[in-house]
């Protein structure tokens, strides 16, 4: 967040004579072009997908409660595993961040809306189509895609029509992401309020600008990879078919050239959110704003250079292993800069611990654990030992759940008063945080031990020695899942008006243009661009 004060904002900058025009009924949503409406739809959609992906996760944990096959045959178990990953990544986490981008970027930069409002509508409405395709694939002959979310060849070349559904869904969701990325880049570069230079922009906008470039660069690579899978399956090509002169390992290279930046697509906006929340509740300017921006850019650039650390076991020259190993370790430097800056922002601040701040601190603490296990995995000889074990599962859930999801929860509580005009129930919010934090660690921390002991991922059955840790993880998972119903209750309660009316700026230490408009934010904001003047 830029450490700025805002003045010279016209007193009615938040709304004008256009503000009374609000479409009614179903047309408001189907033909929505208002960034706030589209943002709301993104967020509702992503929460629904979180519930669907979460249900699949609980089915997995149910089966894994005891060794042996209890409820689901391994084929169905693998379908659940695959769809859990695809739905959570493409249906829940990514759309949730785009929802926040839609809601907050125009408000933060003083724009009246996104640059391409109709394309914004199209980007959103592609999502349910992709989600229906993914979900419907369970009901086709052979069931859903069971090759893992990575869809590695040659397994993915041998599956039934469920694989084609998944490929088409990825195409559609990828097209949606590319259009969303174009919209965000153009909005940020062309539509900032007068006086808001790039280096005065809130860090959430910066993180999304860089993320949008990442999306634009790698989603076409994924689209190409899955299209080649499709042509290999149905049109006689042999990109990944060794029998025809192709190479299955090529798929892994192409996929992870997308896949590793994708990891940062799912975490950079979370960094931006935490960078907004921490200064607010520490009541201090963000420590090292410029270094935060440069760290985001450095992480993005490095993310293109480390993809093969996912592939150490495929075999590669030692020099290549060293390159990818050290490249991966290098990412910890800009990431460390960010963790240091958040900590330094809190240092000697007048801190209070409202729910957004709890989630932000929880994020810093637990995400850092995930970062450290990432460093362990970066070491090629260790990675070869724990490849495809629960250690990897633990690592990426520490990064994606405690990272992305915690930041999303924190940001929801942070901006909820601006969205609905009412404060959430702080007591219940704190309950939600602590239940989430404790149950998350109960679920995923034992997985480190499982992985180090040799428990492979994507297995429906296991040796009896793993039973205890699996049972702990399953109990934690159900607790975690049920805790999210509390989150839904808190949000719905606030939207129904059960809570104190929120002032324009409900947080003592919050700065930025979004807090200059009334709460809830009027339907049309900044129709006349505000003059943004920063004190620093």
- Among this protein's residues, is 234 annotated catalytic? no
Q: Is 335 a catalytic residue?
A: yes
Q: Which of 40, 46, 150, 177 is catalytic?
A: 177
Among 5, 190, 319, 535, binds other proteins (CB under 8 A): 190
Vertex 291: Cα angle to 286 and 295 (nearest 5): 115
Query: Any catalytic annotation for residue 123?
Result: no
**One residue of 19, 51, 221, 504 binding other proteins per CB under 8 A:** 221
351 binds other proteins (CB under 8 A): no
Question: Which residue number, 255 or 409, has a Cβ lying nearer to other proteins?
Answer: 255
CB of 151 to other proteins, least distance (A): 15
Contact between 110 and other proteins by CB under 8 A: the answer reads no
The verdict on 401 binding other proteins (CB under 8 A) reads no
The residue (of 186 and 376) whose beta carbon lies closer to other proteins is: 186
> Which residue in the block uniquely carries the two structure tokens 């480390």?
306
- Which of the stretches 6-14, 179-187, 291-299, 347-355 binds other proteins when contact is defined by CB under 8 A? 179-187
16-45 positions binding other proteins, by CB under 8 A: 18, 33
Strands (DSSP E) found in 282-389: none
Residue 439's H or E segment, with its range, is helix 426-452
Entry field: residues in the chain: 536
Residue of 262, 383, 425, 514 marked catalytic: 262
| 523: helix, strand or coil | coil
Work out whether 388 is an interface residue with other proteins (CB under 8 A): no
Rg (the chain; Cα; Å): 23
244 near other proteins, rule: CB under 8 A: yes
Q: Is 517 in the site for other proteins (CB under 8 A)?
A: no
The single residue of 335, 412, 474, 525 carrying the catalytic annotation is 335
DSSP 8-state secondary structure symbol assigned to residue 305:
S
C-alpha triplet 429, 430, 431: angle, nearest 5°: 90
**Which of 66, 247, 426, 533 is in the footprint of other proteins by CB under 8 A?**
247
- The residue within the footprint of other proteins, chosen from 129, 250, 301, 435 (CB under 8 A), is 250
Residue from 225, 277, 339, 346 touching other proteins (CB under 8 A): that is: 225
Q: How far is the CB of 13 from other proteins (least distance, A)?
A: 13
CB–CB of 502/423 below 8 Å? Answer: yes
Q: Which helix (H) or strand (E) holds 171?
A: helix 161-190
Among 154, 527, 533, 534, binds other proteins (CB under 8 A): 527
DSSP 29: H
Q: Residue 239 interacts with other proteins (CB under 8 A)?
A: yes
Per CB under 8 A, 191 contacts other proteins: yes
Which of 133, 127, 132 is closest to 165 using CA atoms?
A: 133
Say which of 457, 459, 467, 533 is annotated catalytic: 457
Q: Decide: is 528 part of the binding site for other proteins (CB under 8 A).
A: yes
CA–CA separation, 30 and 28 (whole Å): 6
Q: 389 — phi, psi (to 5°)?
A: -110, 175
**What whole-number distance in Å separates Cα of residue 464 and Cα of residue 390?**
16
Which residue out of 103, 264, 419, 515 is catalytically annotated? 264
In contact, 71 and 62? CB cutoff 8 Å: yes
The DSSP letter of residue 522 is P
379, 367, 347, 221: which is closest to 279 by C-alpha?
347
Binding range to other proteins, per CB under 8 A, among 136-144, 157-165, 235-243, 348-356:
235-243
Catalytic residue at 439?
A: no
Buried b (16+ CB within 10 A) or exposed e, 236-271: ebebbbeeeebebbebbebbbbbbbbbbbbbbbbbb
Residues with a catalytic annotation lie at 84, 113, 149, 176-177, 260, 262, 264, 275, 309-310, 335, 338, 457
Q: Please report, as ranges, the residues that interact with other proteins according to CB under 8 A.
A: 18, 33, 112-113, 115-117, 178, 181-183, 185-186, 189-191, 216-217, 219-221, 223-225, 227-228, 237-240, 244-247, 250, 254, 527-528
């Amino acid at each position: 967040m830029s450490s700025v004060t805002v003045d010279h904002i016209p007193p009615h900058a938040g709304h004008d004579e256009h503000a009374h025009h609000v479409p009614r009924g179903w047309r408001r949503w189907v033909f929505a072009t208002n960034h706030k409406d589209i943002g709301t739809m993104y967020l509702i959609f992503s929460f629904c997908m979180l519930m669907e992906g979460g249900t699949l996760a609980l089915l997995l944990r149910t089966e894994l409660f005891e060794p042996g096959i209890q409820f689901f045959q391994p084929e169905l178990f693998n379908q659940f595993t695959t769809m859990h990953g695809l739905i959570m990544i493409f249906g829940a986490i990514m759309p949730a961040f785009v929802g926040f981008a839609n809601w907050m970027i125009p408000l933060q930069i003083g724009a009246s809306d996104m640059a391409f409002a109709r394309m914004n509508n199209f980007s959103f409405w592609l999502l349910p189509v992709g989600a229906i395709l993914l979900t419907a694939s369970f009901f086709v002959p052979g069931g859903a895609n069971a090759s893992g979310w990575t869809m590695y060849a040659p397994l993915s070349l041998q599956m039934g029509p469920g694989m084609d559904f998944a490929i088409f869904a990825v195409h559609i969701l990828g097209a949606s992401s590319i259009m969303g990325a174009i919209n965000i880049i153009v909005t940020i570069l062309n539509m900032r309020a007068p006086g808001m230079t790039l280096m005065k922009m809130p860090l959430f906008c910066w993180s999304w600008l860089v993320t949008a470039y990442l999306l634009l660069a790698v989603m076409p690579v994924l689209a190409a990879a899955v299209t080649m899978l499709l042509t290999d399956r149905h049109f006689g090509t042999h990109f990944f078919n060794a029998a025809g002169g192709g190479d299955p390992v090529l798929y892994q290279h192409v996929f992870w050239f997308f896949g590793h930046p994708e990891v940062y697509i799912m975490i950079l906006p979370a960094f931006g959110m935490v960078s907004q929340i921490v200064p607010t509740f520490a009541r201090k300017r963000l420590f090292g704003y410029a270094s935060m921006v440069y760290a985001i850019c450095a992480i993005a650039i490095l993310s293109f250079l480390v993809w093969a650390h996912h592939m150490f076991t495929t075999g590669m020259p030692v020099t290549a292993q060293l390159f990818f190993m050290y490249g991966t370790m290098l990412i910890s430097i800009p990431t460390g800069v960010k963790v240091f800056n958040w900590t330094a922002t809190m240092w000697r601040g007048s801190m209070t611990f409202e729910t957004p701040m709890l989630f932000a601190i929880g994020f810093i603490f637990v995400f850092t654990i995930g970062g450290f296990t990432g460093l362990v995995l970066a070491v090629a000889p260790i990675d070869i030992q724990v490849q495809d074990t629960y250690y990897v599962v633990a690592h990426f859930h520490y990064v994606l759940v405690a990272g992305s999801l915690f930041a999303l929860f924190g940001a929801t509580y942070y901006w909820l008063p601006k969205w609905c005009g009412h404060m959430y129930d702080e007591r219940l919010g704190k309950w939600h945080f602590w239940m989430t934090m404790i149950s998350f660690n109960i679920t995923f921390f034992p997985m480190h031990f499982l992985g180090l002991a040799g428990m492979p991922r994507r297995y429906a059955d296991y040796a009896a020695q793993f039973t205890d840790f699996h049972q702990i993880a399953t109990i934690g998972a159900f607790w975690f899942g049920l805790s999210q119903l509390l989150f839904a209750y808190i949000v719905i309660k606030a939207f129904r008006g059960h809570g104190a009316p929120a002032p324009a700026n409900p947080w003592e230490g919050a700065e930025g243009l979004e807090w200059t408009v009334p709460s809830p934010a009027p339907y049309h904001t900044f129709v006349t661009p505000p003059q943004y003047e920063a004190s620093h």
